[in-house]
């Protein structure tokens, strides 16, 4: 049983393009959702929280689709520095035991 | 500066030699957690702690121990390390383990058990 799933990629995307990827979760009671960015051999860093109404932070837009149980991350005008692995994190079941992470989607921005 | 500090950052050791990886946070967070990250398997939770003296098993607790005697510290103990515990380990903390609380990660500890 996979609680949080992501397409591992890699996604090879030309610089300047728009790219989007999804993360599905299994428990409809999940309440909290986040996107993290992880560079090779470094710690995951919080990119943005995902709110029910969707939210935007500069070139990044996060959305939640409760009916289909997935969250998405869209990156506009992609930069070389956006190359990284993007992890989604879900508070499965809305419980008090922290976050469950997906395995990550590897993004490569090509010049 | 608000941070989660792990030590050591790198350790090469041998099978059976007890080791401790320390984790300390200076944000007065109640919730702390340990993960290991392996290629193809993602981040897997080892143990977590909701508060002082409260710890619970995560998804892969076998071979590990933790303690939470103080709020700021959450050491990970490998009593008898084995090669299958070679991995990249992360400590993380958040204000609490409940909803809408993102976790902040330490820099990671790369363990090699020979």
Give ∠ CA B7-B8-B13 in degrees, rounded to 5.
140
pLDDT tens-digit map of B14-51: 999 999 999 999 999 999 999 999 998 989 999 999 99
How high does pLDDT run on average in chain B?
Answer: 93
Q: Which residues of B touch A (CB under 8 A)?
A: 31, 33, 35, 40-43, 45, 48, 50, 56, 58, 88, 90, 94, 96-108, 110
Size of interface A-B (CB pairs under 8 A): 60
Distance CA B58, CA A10 (A): 29
- Give the three-state DSSP class for B16: coil
Task: Give contacts of A97 with chain B, Cβ < 8 Å.
Answer: 48, 56, 58, 97
Model pLDDT, residue A41: 83
Model pLDDT, residue B99: 61
How high does pLDDT run on average in chain A?
Answer: 91
Q: Where are the beta strands (DSSP E) in chain A?
A: 4-6, 11-14, 19-25, 33-38, 45-50, 55-57, 60-65, 70-75, 84-90, 100-101, 105-110
Model pLDDT, residue A70: 95
Q: Hey, which residues 19-78 in chain A have their CB within 8 Å of chain B? A: 31-32, 34, 41-46, 49
Beta-sheet pairing, B76-78 with B104-105: unpaired
Choose the closest CB to A43 out of B31, B101, B108. Answer: B108
**Structure-token pair, residue B74:** 């959450």
Q: Please say whether the beta carbons of A37 and A100 come within 8 A.
A: no
Q: Does the beta-carbon distance from A98 to B99 stay under 8 Å?
A: no
Q: Please say whether the beta carbons of B78 and B85 come within 8 A.
A: yes
Model pLDDT, residue A91: 84
pLDDT at A96 over 60: no
Distance CA B42, CA B34 (A): 13
Model pLDDT, residue A20: 96
pLDDT tens-digit map of A15-58: 999 999 999 999 888 888 999 999 998 999 999 999 888 999 99
Q: Please say whether the beta carbons of B88 and B37 come within 8 A.
A: yes
Distance CA A28, CA B72 (A): 33
């Amino acid at each position: 049983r996979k609680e949080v799933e992501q397409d591992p990629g890699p996604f090879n995307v030309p610089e300047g393009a728009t790219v989007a990827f999804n993360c599905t979760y299994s428990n409809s009671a999940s309440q909290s959702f986040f996107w993290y960015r992880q560079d090779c051999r470094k710690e995951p860093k919080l990119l943005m929280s995902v709110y029910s109404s969707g939210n935007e932070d500069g070139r990044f837009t996060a959305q939640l689709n409760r009916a289909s149980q997935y969250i998405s991350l869209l990156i506009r005008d992609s930069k070389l520095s956006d190359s990284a692995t993007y992890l989604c994190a879900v508070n499965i079941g809305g419980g008090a035991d922290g976050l469950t992470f997906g395995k990550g989607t590897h993004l490569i921005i090509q010049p | 500066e608000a941070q989660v500090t792990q030590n050591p950052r790198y350790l090469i050791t041998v099978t059976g030699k007890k080791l401790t990886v320390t984790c300390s946070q200076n944000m007065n967070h109640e919730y702390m957690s340990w993960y290991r990250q392996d290629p193809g398997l993602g981040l897997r939770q080892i143990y977590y702690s909701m508060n002082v003296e409260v710890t619970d098993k995560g998804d892969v607790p076998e071979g590990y121990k933790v303690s939470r005697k103080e709020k700021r510290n959450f050491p990970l103990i490998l009593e008898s390390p084995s090669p299958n515990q070679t991995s990249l380990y992360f400590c993380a903390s958040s204000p609490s383990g409940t909803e809408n609380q993102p976790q902040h990660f330490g820099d990671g500890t790369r363990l090699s058990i020979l």
